[in-house]
Amino acid sequence: MNLLIIVAALLVGQFMQWPERWRDFTWYLQHLDWLGARVDLRGAWGLLLALALPVLSVLLLQALLARGPGLVLGTAFAWLVLLCCLGPGHLLATINEYLQALHAEDEEQTAVLRAQLEDGRHEDQDPIAVGIVSRAHDEYFAVLFWFAILGPVGAVLYRFTRLIAQLDSAHENLRPAAEHLLGVLGWPSTRLAAFGFALMGNFDKALFKLTGGLAWQTDLLAANRGMLAEVTCAAVDFHPHDTPTDVARRARDLIVRTLTLWLVVFAVLTLLGW
């Protein structure tokens, strides 16, 4: 059943626009403002309080709809939760729009889309490739991993932890704890995604980078991102003469192939009774 939920959520999220309205978490930011006015939100305890509303609500509904007459409703609920937690936005559609802007030589649109995609935190790696795979991990692979492990509550836990880690200075006391938890949650999914990239790309070069990133480090979030960037650039084997079009297209194709691989793995696990 999880396989059908995942496929349906990916297809609807990719080809339809209405799920974006469900990914507007303004209500949650208002809740944090309300909670922060009454409780000192800082550190691990503050993060637990901040995550309590979405996580416990989904956990309760997940338990109530797990069996009996609620099973069909539980499946629909799981699909809606996963659909809301994927994203935000349409990464693959954004990449395609960027490629079209490059082809049309529309410099203004290219600059806007490039700013959405690139990640310049790793100076020795291509910022577009790094940004694309980093977003792919955060918006797809990590959410799917925790959904597969814990069900809807796993997807909610990762999505809202990531949301808190990206908050502005209004809740900066929460950010260090959220970033640490995000690093812990992202440790297994980052390495599984990177292993998929290695299998779908230049395995020999990528495997060396992957094995070097298996150690547990203090700043897990930065370590996860750095390892993912290195494995990706080794798997795709970019060259200095590659054009921006080549880089974006090859990074997109690597993500699509790896997502397909994950779906095949989910299918096998489903056949084995998972």
* pLDDT surpassing 70 at residue 216: no
pLDDT (0 to 100) of residue 241 = 74
pLDDT (0 to 100) of residue 83 = 92
What is the tens place of the pLDDT at every residue in 218-233? 788 888 888 888 888 8
Contact indicator for 258, 197 with CB cutoff of 8 Å: yes
**What b-and-e string marks burial along 64-101, b requiring 16 or more CB atoms within 10 Å of the CB?**
ebeeeeeeeebbebbbebbbbbbbbebbbebbebbbeb
> Among candidates 226, 88, 232, 219, which has minimal Cα distance to 162?
88
CA torsion through residues 270, 138, 182, 160, sign: negative
* pLDDT surpassing 90 at residue 205: no
Rounded Cα–Cα distance for residues 235 and 135 (Å): 17
Percent of the chain clearing pLDDT 70 (strictly above)? 92
> Among candidates 271, 41, 72, which has minimal Cα distance to 176?
41
Instruction: Name the H helices within 86-237.
Output: 91-104, 107-117, 127-136, 142-150, 152-165, 175-200, 203-211, 220-236
CA torsion through residues 252, 253, 259, 262, sign: negative
What the block records as the tokens of 237 is 């084997």
Domain housing 137: 2-271
Rounded Cα–Cα distance for residues 110 and 112 (Å): 5
What is the tens place of the pLDDT at every residue in 138-197? 999 999 999 999 999 999 999 999 999 988 766 778 889 999 999 999 999 999 999 999
Mean of pLDDT values over 100-128: 84
Distance of CA 114 to the CA centre of its chain: 19
Contact indicator for 233, 125 with CB cutoff of 8 Å: yes
Rounded Cα–Cα distance for residues 159 and 83 (Å): 11
* pLDDT surpassing 80 at residue 108: yes
* pLDDT surpassing 70 at residue 107: yes
3-state secondary structure of 209: helix
The domain tally of the chain equals 1
Rounded Cα–Cα distance for residues 89 and 132 (Å): 13
pLDDT (0 to 100) of residue 122 = 63
The better pLDDT of the pair 186, 41 is held by 186
What is the tens place of the pLDDT at every residue in 248-258? 899 999 999 99
* Confidence (pTM): 0.92
Mean of pLDDT values over 41-48: 89
